[in-house]
Each structure stands twice: as C-alpha cells, then as structure tokens.
Structure 1
Amino acid sequence: MKLISWNVNGLRAVLKHDFMTSFNDLDADWFCIQETKMQEGQASLDLPGYHQYFNYAERKGYSGTAIFTKHEPLAVTYGIGQPEFDDEGRVITLEYPKFYLITVYTPNSGSELKRLDYRQAWDQAFLAYTKALAAKKPLVYCGDLNVAHHEIDLKNPSSNHHNAGFTDEERNDFTTQLEAGFTDTFRHFYPNLEDVYSWWSYRFSARSRNAGWRIDYFVASDNFVPFIKDAKIHNEVLGSDHCPVELETVDLLGE
C-alpha cells in the first residue's frame, strides 16, 4: 500500500497548476497534505473514490491539513486535545483496526526563533499524544516536521546552525521523539544517503542547485516498522517548495 505526504504550500494555488496530475500519478491509498492555507468552502476537489478530511486553522490563509483516502477509517480526530495547540489546524488522526495514521504540520520556530518556545512546547505535547496512541496500536505519522535532524539532512549545516529547523533544541526534541519508540522511516532504509531533500527555499535558485533540507517525514512507531517496505522522496514532483514523500507498506487492512 502507498502513503504520500506533501506540504503543498497553499492548496488553492497548486490546484491551479498540476496538483491533480501529480495526485493521479502518485495514486496513493492515503494522500496527506499540509499547509492547505484555506478555510472551509474555499476549494472543492473532485476525487472519486476518496474520502476527504480537512482541519482548518482559525487564522485565514494559514497552516491547515488534509487527508484524502481510499479507505474509510473507524474514527477521525482533529487536533491533539490541547486547546493551546489546536487552533491552527495542524493535526488529523485516522484510526483503523490495525493502526493509526496522523498527518501533522509542525510549527515553525520562525524568524529570529520568535516561536521556539511554542515549538518546543508543541514537541512535548505531540510526543505525549503519539506515545499514548502507539501504546494502543501501531502508529505512523507524516508531514512537514520543520526540522532537519542531522547534518546529512540539509545542504549547508554549518551556515544554518541555530536557524529555525536546525537548532540544537529542535534536533534534540526530534531525537527524544525517536528514542521514545519511533523510527525515521527514510533513514531506516537509507541511513547514509546524501543530497536527498524535500524542501528548497524559493530564493537563490535553491532547488536547481539542490540546496535543500529534508524536513518532511514518515515516522513509524516501532510496532509499525514491520509493516514498512520502502520510503521514497519524489523530488521530481514540482508545484510547491516541498516535494511529496512516500511510504510503501504491506497490506494494512487485510486479515
């Protein structure tokens, strides 16, 4: 089975370009997106055979997540159950008989790290949320986590040290998440693969130079890892400053 995650940096914007072509070509069982930047009713998608779930931010034109899936879940949850973190539309959780799937758009620490404290509080709250679910059944979450974990995960680590997405605090928080019983699925399969990124700044021709960051992930609880078969980064897909990332799994719904 195939799961796709993509920060589209504005769903209405990519719909005007080749989003539907990419969507159909990728042909995912679950298609998770982040940064929809829209409110209810501002866009309509014709996706035959897919169930559609949206979580909108209260602030207009900001954040937001969605999941499009061929497989109707047992239950859908929006947010993580903490009001201080649930007004920006950052999380959707689908429950199935054998597992949970979460799409997440992690807060960015911002320019001059003005939101680093909020980001770190979010990291703690999200860890508590995922640990509680993973204790019940296997779990996989995906999305723009706004952190490059190691130096191998961005083109210019030295010049970006202490910048948002590569601070010691953010990297350590992600290490804490993994040490709590989770796996970075791309590095599980490709621990030493270099120069593979999922986000490039629009500035300085970064994408054409492949001066990027790997900040989009599928993270699996340790009890989900036996289900995974491969991980991919689709850097050939255009339309956003991010590209889609993929997780291939065994049949998650069969007996």
Structure 2
Amino acid sequence: MMGFKIVTWNINGLRSFGGSQQFRSAIFEQFDSQADIVCLQETKLSRSSLTEWMAFVPGYTSYFSFPSSEANHLTRHSGYSGVATFVRENSNCRPYAAEVTFINDVSEIFANDLFDHLEEDSLFEKRWSGKFKWNVDDDHISWRQVDREGRCIVTKHSIQIDETDASHNHCKEWLYVFNLYCPRNDSSRPDRELFQLKFYHLVERRIKALFEDSQSCNYIIVVGDFNTAHRPIDVYNDDEFCYLGSNSRIWLQELLDQDRLVDAFRHINGDVNGAFTCWNTQIGGRHTNYGSRIDYILVDRRLCQYMLNCHHLTNVGGSDHCPVMVQFDDRIRFICPDHQYYSKHCTKQWPEFDPIKQPGSIRRFLISNRSKENQNNDQSGSSSHNQSIIDKLKTKQLQQTKISSFLTGVKQIRSQQQQPLATQTIAIDSTTVTNAPTDQSEKWRQLLEAKSKTEHIPLCTGHGLPCVRRKVRKSGTNFGREFYQCSKPSLKPDGHPETRCNFFRWIK
C-alpha cells in the first residue's frame, strides 16, 4: 500500500546548507524514505548564483524559478524569494511539462490566453472592493510585476488511478502540482497586501481553469508557504499574530469553500492543537512551540480517499519552518513519459551546466582533449608510445626535490631554538598557581578553575537556574557592557515554563 510522497518545505535560504553533502542529508536523506516530489520555497537564489551541488541531487531532476530581472522593484534585493521542485527519477513521476509563470509568456502547461490586464483589474477590484483600501494611482502594482518574483513552479504529471466506479471518466489523467511561495503581508508596507492578494488571484485563476477543462481529467495538489493561517487554531495566539479577519485568511477560506481542494493535514488529523509549521527563531519560538501553521498541502478532494497520512516533520531543523509531508497509497501510479524530453525549466537543459554548450568553459576544453586522448589510445601502435611517456614521467618524478626535505630543515632549526621553560608562577585574584610547563593543558585548567572560583554566577529568580553572560551589542552608552540574564532561550509566550524570566544584573 506504499504509494508516492510529496514534501513541501520553506528552507529560508538554500546556500545556508553549505555544500552538497549537507544539502543532500538535510533535505533528501532524513525523511523516513525518499520522497517522490520535494517542493522547496524561499531558496533566495538567482540563476547566476545556482551551483551544481544545488541543482543536481543524485536520483532527482530539479526545476528552479527565480525573481526576474524585469521585476525592477527587486533591484535592491539580494537573495530574495525563489522556489525549486525536485522530482525523483526512478519513480516514473518525471513531469511531461513545467511552468514558472502564470501569465503572458506561458507555453508548456498554461495556454497563452492573451491575459487581459484591464479585465483582471476589474474582476479583482469587484471582488475586493470595500475589503481593504488602496489608491489605484499611487499603489499600482501590475500583474506582470506580481508574476515575476519567482514564486511558483507548476509540474504536470501523467497518472493512472485504480477506479472501480463505473461513472469514472477514462480519459487521460493528469496531476498538476503547484509549488507556491506566497507573498507576505508586511504591516510596514501597505502595498504588500495588494501584492499578496493579486498573487492569490493569479493562483486561483489557473486552478479554476484546470478544473474546468473538459478535454482532460485534471487533478490538482497545491503545496507551499501560503503566508497566512487558515483558522484561529492554526496560531498560538490569534490576536497577537494578527490573522484574525485578515484578507489573506478570507481568500484561503473561500478557496476551500469551493469544495474542490481539501486541507490535507486537517482532513487526516482533525482539530489537533499546537500543530504549527513556522516559528520565530529570533525569540526562540520553536522551544515553546510559539508558532503558526502557514505551510499547507491542499489536495484535490477526489484524491482524499487515497491519502494514507499527512504530518509535520517537526524534528527536522535547518530553517524557521518544518517540512510537511503527504503520502498516498499505491492505487495512484505515475506514468513515465515515453520520450526523453525534459522541460526547458529543468536544470538538465540549461547551458551553464552543459560543458559542450559553454564556449568559454574550461570543462569543455578538458572534455574535448580527453576524448582526443581516448581516440589516440585506440589507434594501433599506441601502447609503445604510451610506455615511453610513462618512463619519462617516472624519471622526472625521481629527479624532483621533495617538499619534505625543506620541512626537515625547518624542524632541525626549531629543535635548536627550543629551550626548556622555567617554572612559572601565575597570580590570579590573590590565588597563586605554580605550574611546570610540561603540560600546557593542565596550566589552562588551573587558570580557569581559579577564575571560576572568583566569579559568582547568580541564579535567576524565575527558575533558580545559573544565569548566562551576555554583552550589549546595540550602539549607545552601554555598548560592550556585560550582564547576567536568564538562560532560557525563548521570549514568548508569557508565563510558559520555558520562557525567559525578567532577571537582569549588570556585571561590574
């Protein structure tokens, strides 16, 4: 009954994983078993900063979307937005097509439907008129601008479902996976709410078109960081998180009210409390589970009967979000394309990763020379020629001066310069420590012990635990001063046993 798995995770910067092995182990190897489709949000990359270890993971093909240079409002941002979808090769789920935009120059999935900007403006204004206020002239945000922040990847997969219902439509079945990183409603920037709602509008527009396509049997799964919480149960403190009555919550509720998509986590787990996916790391919110659930997997209602589970992988670190995984049974099967075509959005198709297509690449030079050497080796009489080259190399190697000979001379000079140190007396706060210099670690141990005896570490009043030393980093009159503070890592919520108490004392 083991079917396919989809994982979504806001990783808050792909470069933070450091390298190939760390990235692979952090994202792909720590799940209970390999996921078939891994959707990542907030990669914070541009195409020029994407490296091979990010793009190529063994067993997967990758699809990336970046903020476009056409988005002139992002010219001052470095490392912003971005999504990536990794698809496992040996599970037959290689997509037939992929798309990274919702309007205008779409070609592989969505029809180039001559997006009418004025018509969409009219529909948008009609829907949200009176819900929030914006100045059409001063706060104008174009649809193209919304579509150019690298916030979506849609992949199209062929599937087959074991269906016993006689009324089931036997036309070709397609599964569309939407990987989204929805904009955040920044309270300090009123224009971002308009930006967020316009992005939601584009998403819903494409979902609706796929559902209403009578020529195909389309199924849809929407995953990602929605940057809103659906219900009050999805945040620790609804009043403080400011989702109550928000337009983003209204949009999500209306999307689910259409009865086509289902919140997979709530469908499987019900109204469980404290099920969050995002925490503020600056206040240590993960230690007290002071968070919110803003990462979702919305599943086509017709696929709910095939879902086995959906859960939050809260033990996975590396980001202020945790991954969310959904698993389906084996009645849903992927059908691999019968051709070797890869989408133009697949990194395998990009010239910067193909040495043959890079005229100035040194890898192209090495590969071409290597191929010439292989051809020469295959020619008759090449064995004697190669043997003569090897003999010359061996002779040259024997004549080379080894670097160890230089190091030997340095060692001799150092050994002559080293003299036995006399026994030293160290005075620390009226405590005299006499130490032979033969063991430097013992000297440091006595030094630290003597210091700890003179330093009295207070206990915090809230928990009775030893305090920690901290230093003022903010510029001002107290910059650089040290103080004692409660050692608990979290600042919220108030009254929680793991929340830092108010103990504070300057260190003189």
- In the superposition, the TM-score normalised over structure 1's length comes to 0.92
Residue 44 of structure 1 corresponds to which residue in structure 2? 52
The whole-number CA distance in structure 2 between the counterparts of 1:254 and 1:61 is 35
Q: How far has the Cα of 1:191 moved from its partner?
A: 1.9
Q: Say yes or no: does 1:73 pair with 2:95.
A: yes
- Partner residue of 1:197 out of 269, 273, 276: 276
2:157 maps to amino acid:
Y
The whole-number CA distance in structure 2 between the counterparts of 1:134 and 1:18 is 40
Cα pair distance change 1:84/1:143, threshold 3 Å: same
Q: How far has the Cα of 1:18 moved from its partner?
A: 4.3
Q: Say yes or no: does 1:34 pair with 2:37.
A: no
The whole-number CA distance in structure 1 between the counterparts of 2:211 and 2:305 is 14
Tell me, yes or no, if the aligned pair for 2:312 and 2:325 is still in contact at 8 Å: yes
CA offset digits 1:76-120 (Å, max 9, x no partner): 111212523221011101101231111000010113352112211
Identify, as 1 or 2, the structure richer in strand. Answer: 1
Cα pair distance change 1:33/1:254, threshold 3 Å: closer
Give runs of aligned pairs for residues 83-102 of structure 1, distance below 5 A.
Answer: 83-97=144-158, 98-102=174-178
Match of 2:286, SS state, is coil
Q: Which moved more, 1:217-226 or 1:31-40?
A: 217-226
Q: Say yes or no: does 1:169 pair with 2:247.
A: yes
Q: How far has the Cα of 1:221 moved from its partner?
A: 2.2
- Partner residue of 1:57 out of 53, 67, 76: 67
Q: Say yes or no: does 1:219 pair with 2:298.
A: yes
Q: Say yes or no: does 1:8 pair with 2:8.
A: no
Match of 2:197, SS state, is helix
Q: How far has the Cα of 1:19 moved from its partner?
A: 3.5
Match of 2:250, SS state, is helix
Residue 25 of structure 2 corresponds to which residue in structure 1? 21
Match of 1:24, SS state, is coil
Residue 489 of structure 2 corresponds to which residue in structure 1? none
Match of 1:112, SS state, is coil
The whole-number CA distance in structure 2 between the counterparts of 1:99 and 1:135 is 14
1:122 maps to amino acid:
F
Q: How many residues align?
A: 252
Tell me, yes or no, if the aligned pair for 1:134 and 1:221 is still in contact at 8 Å: no
1:202 maps to amino acid:
T
Residue 253 of structure 1 corresponds to which residue in structure 2? 333
Residue 485 of structure 2 corresponds to which residue in structure 1? none
Q: How far has the Cα of 1:254 moved from its partner?
A: 4.6
CA offset digits 1:143-190 (Å, max 9, x no partner): 00001111110111122235xxx5521111100111122111101111
Match of 1:96, SS state, is strand
The whole-number CA distance in structure 1 between the counterparts of 2:18 and 2:306 is 32
Residue 503 of structure 2 corresponds to which residue in structure 1? none
The whole-number CA distance in structure 1 between the counterparts of 2:231 and 2:178 is 23
Q: How far has the Cα of 1:14 moved from its partner?
A: 2.5
The whole-number CA distance in structure 1 between the counterparts of 2:226 and 2:48 is 27
Cα pair distance change 1:253/1:4, threshold 3 Å: same
Identical counterparts, % of pairs: 29
Match of 2:194, SS state, is helix
Match of 1:51, SS state, is strand
Following TM superposition, where does structure 1 have runs of at least 4 consecutive aligned residues deviating by more than 3 angstroms? 15-19
Identify, as 1 or 2, the structure richer in helix. Answer: 2
Tell me, yes or no, if the aligned pair for 1:37 and 1:63 is still in contact at 8 Å: yes
CA offset digits 1:211-234 (Å, max 9, x no partner): 011100101122332332210100
Q: Say yes or no: does 1:208 pair with 2:287.
A: yes
- In the superposition, the TM-score normalised over structure 2's length comes to 0.48
Tell me, yes or no, if the aligned pair for 2:183 and 2:227 is still in contact at 8 Å: yes
Which runs of no fewer than 5 residues in structure 1 stay unpaired?
Answer: none
The whole-number CA distance in structure 1 between the counterparts of 2:15 and 2:201 is 32
Cα pair distance change 1:134/1:212, threshold 3 Å: same
Match of 1:186, SS state, is helix
1:182 maps to amino acid:
L
1:95 maps to amino acid:
K
Cα pair distance change 1:134/1:14, threshold 3 Å: farther
The whole-number CA distance in structure 1 between the counterparts of 2:245 and 2:13 is 26
The whole-number CA distance in structure 1 between the counterparts of 2:238 and 2:334 is 43
Cα pair distance change 1:78/1:33, threshold 3 Å: same
Residue 159 of structure 1 corresponds to which residue in structure 2? 240
Tell me, yes or no, if the aligned pair for 1:5 and 1:142 is still in contact at 8 Å: yes
Match of 2:317, SS state, is coil
Tell me, yes or no, if the aligned pair for 2:5 and 2:36 is still in contact at 8 Å: yes
Cα pair distance change 1:100/1:199, threshold 3 Å: same
The whole-number CA distance in structure 2 between the counterparts of 1:67 and 1:179 is 28
Which runs of no fewer than 5 residues in structure 2 stay unpaired?
Answer: 69-73, 104-142, 159-173, 336-508
Give runs of aligned pairs for residues 123-138 of structure 1, distance below 5 A.
Answer: 123-136=200-213, 137-138=218-219
2:325 maps to amino acid:
E
Match of 1:110, SS state, is coil
Tell me, yes or no, if the aligned pair for 1:8 and 1:14 is still in contact at 8 Å: no
Tell me, yes or no, if the aligned pair for 2:157 and 2:334 is still in contact at 8 Å: no
